Amino acid sequence: MSPDTEALQTAAIQKIRFNALVLQMAVAEMLNVAGLPRRTFALQFATDGLPEVTLFHSRSMAMSSGQEEDRSEMVPHVIESTGLNGPAEIEFKHIVVVDGVHFTAENHCTEDGDGSEGLGFFNARGLHSWPSHLGEVTACCLNSTQMDGGTFKDNFASDIGEALQVFGHSLDTSIARKGIAHMNQLLCVYEVKPHVELPTFDDVNSQGWLKLNHLALYEVKDHGGPRWDSTSSQKLCASPWIWSPDSVRMYGPVGTSQGEDNQEVLEEIPTSRNLKPEEELRAIALDADTLLDEFWTLSRAELSEMENDNEVRSEGKRHWFVLVDGEHITRVDVCASTWIEGIQLHTNLRSSRWYGGTGDQKHMLQSPDGWRVATFFGSKSGQHVRTLGVKCLPLSSSPKPHCNWPKPLPRAGKSIKFLKAVGEAYEHGPNTRFVLMPDTMGAVVIRCGEYVEAPFRVLLPEEVAANCTNPEAYNYNDHVFELFPGEKIVKVEMSSGFWVDVMRLTTTLRVSPWFGGEGGSIRPPLECPTGHNICGFHGTHGKKYSIAMENAAQPPSCSVSGSQRRNHAAQAADPNSQQAADVQQQPEHDIFGDWNLNMVVMFMLLLHFMQYAMRQPCGC
């Protein structure tokens, strides 16, 4: 290809990209002329912010000169083979702009039953008469210079009008093709006087402005030109391809959808302004270590059903992110290359940990102000998620939930209560005692796979906030149960054998997922006496797994100073104290032989209870 030819093709693509925006604006204005709301269609944009346009050469279609009439059958195959119909979760329509020199004029519109549904052909008779940017629109509408078959302005207006006909007919074959003329009057406030052979403007000045010749022009005072008839306008306005303020807004998808034939579309929950509360997005489940392997969205009803069946379980790389009443997702950060590598969720109340890996381009899928992420869409191929995007709805479409925020606990006595340990506490190898009694509990971090593993951590609120900005803060199987302001843990449920297999936390606001596997024997729950809440943990760490658990309760009517906390912690960690009497290390057993378990010796979890502070008003 010669440099001149390449330059001409680049200029033509630029003109088509800009005039796709002109068409988008023209549809909205023509609906407004018909007395309807300004609504229009959505375009697929490239990374530079302009519409996506792909150049096809005739030779790429492998057609002989005798196959010109089959172009409408060949183009869909080329589009499919180049991946322009992807990603699979989005439906596309394509307008094909064909060089008028190589295409017959009578075939400029898609015909009924031509087998190319979602495809419209448009014959551009003179791309050189089109504007390539906003500053050229007025000049193109007023340029009365003669060219083959008319003037530059007439050619441009005719091309834009015919492109609108192709667009309307591609949405609905009953949309009228007539009546779309004099597009100049829609795009410019001046029109060239008929039968006046005078130049309409001089060359632009240094500021890029035209010097108009008003002897050759008149002012357009109304939209008497292009319009669809009433029936066609109503059909267009109601078309699912036309965007409205009530429509779902889509952002993304990010990732790569091309080059893979067997892509599986991710399941979505419905998106509508008329959804019932139980149909709204309530939870996200995902599998992630170095890549995002699985991704599910669940409604409130679906999550409730799984909770009733004890199927909400965080284990290994399986994570759950469950929304509370009044919480909605506002932004999703995605690290994507060929695959989706990692993801982080942000809501109006908190930010999640970073799930998965990092390394390539980071994308931010941000809902507009006053909107919320209603669901996710994307695709999966092989063992990993390939693409991911979000669909947003206005916040006004979200039903007002019943307020379920934590309420103050009733007052109780001042005694500290200790509950019996759970777990057999057998161990082979060294062990380390731990005490976790922060001033304020911001999150519990439970590392688990088939069993609850060491280390067991409790974070301060400021540590939780700092870790949200650090993708390396957590191991892939660290499950972070973050506490909201005023939320307190009141019960721990467990199954255990020689070690703790699984555990679940109940707070004054909600119930966590199960953390761990499905083995072990169900133990009596460690539940707070009335008016108590958990303020700390202590026990014993081995190399890997956790084996026993114990708790103590302190009422909200007792304030606990820093020195008192240290005294309680020292007593809990002292093997000679009464508090630790029930959790002495058991003797080693020969049943383990030379088997290196790499387990926690004895995970004795002592739950301390402190004063429950009333949560600040949540506005619900």
pLDDT of residue 442: 96
* Rg (alpha carbons) of the chain, rounded to whole number: 33
Joined tokens for residue 616: 């600040």
**First vs last Cα of the chain: how many Å apart?**
66
β-partners of residue 516 are: 502
Residues 6+ apart with CB under 8 A from 519: 450, 451, 495, 497, 501, 502
The residue that leads in pLDDT, 380 or 56, is 380
Asked if 358 contacts 342 with a C-beta cutoff of 8 angstroms, the reply is yes
Burial of 231 (0-12, 13-18, 19+ CB in 10 A): exposed
pLDDT of residue 547: 45
**108 DSSP 8-state letter:** S
pLDDT greater than 50 at residue 585: no
Asked if 466 contacts 435 with a C-beta cutoff of 8 angstroms, the reply is no
Asked if 401 contacts 394 with a C-beta cutoff of 8 angstroms, the reply is no
DSSP string, 227-243: ---HHHHHHHHH-TTEE
Give the C-alpha separation, 606 to 524, whole Å. 15
Model confidence pTM above 0.85: no
The residue that leads in pLDDT, 338 or 413, is 338
pLDDT of residue 107: 42
Give the C-alpha separation, 446 to 454, whole Å. 8
Give the C-alpha separation, 607 to 551, whole Å. 4
Asked if 601 contacts 575 with a C-beta cutoff of 8 angstroms, the reply is no
β-partners of residue 284 are: 297, 321
In 3D space, the residue among 413, 485, 499, 415 whose CA is nearest the CA of residue 443 turns out to be 485
pLDDT of residue 241: 84
For β-strands 384-394 and 281-288, DSSP reports them as unpaired
Asked if 23 contacts 53 with a C-beta cutoff of 8 angstroms, the reply is no
In order of 63, 304, 368, 373, 456, the CA distances from 365 in angstroms are: 42, 28, 10, 9, 33
Per residue in 96-123, pLDDT (tens digit) is 888 654 444 444 444 433 434 567 777 7
Asked if 476 contacts 569 with a C-beta cutoff of 8 angstroms, the reply is no
β-partners of residue 95 are: 120
Give the C-alpha separation, 251 to 254, whole Å. 9
- Cβ–Cβ contacts within 10 Å for residue 244, how many? 11
Give the C-alpha separation, 490 to 165, whole Å. 66
Per residue in 402-413, pLDDT (tens digit) is 555 565 555 544
List, in sequence order, the alpha helices (H) in 311-408: none
pLDDT of residue 322: 98
Q: Please tell me which of 238-252, 423-437, 483-497 the model is most confident about, judged by mean pLDDT.
A: 483-497
pLDDT greater than 80 at residue 198: yes
Domains of the chain: 3-243 (no CATH), 249-397 (2.100.10.30), 417-609 (2.100.10.30)
pLDDT greater than 70 at residue 152: yes
Tell me how far the alpha carbon of residue 613 is from its chain's centroid: 36
Secondary structure class of 511 (helix, strand, coil): strand
Helix, strand, coil share of the chain (percent; to 5): 25, 30, 45
In 3D space, the residue among 293, 275, 228 whose CA is nearest the CA of residue 30 turns out to be 228
Joined tokens for residue 447: 């590392």
Asked if 405 contacts 325 with a C-beta cutoff of 8 angstroms, the reply is yes
Q: Please tell me which of 41-45, 175-179, 430-434 the model is most confident about, judged by mean pLDDT.
A: 41-45
User: What is the layout of strands, in order, in the sheet containing 292-299?
Assistant: 292-299, 281-288, 318-322
Q: Which range (193-197, 322-326, 330-334, 340-344) has the least confidence?
A: 193-197
pLDDT greater than 80 at residue 44: yes
Per residue in 605-617, pLDDT (tens digit) is 333 333 333 333 3
Asked if 340 contacts 384 with a C-beta cutoff of 8 angstroms, the reply is yes
Indicate the average pLDDT of the chain: 77
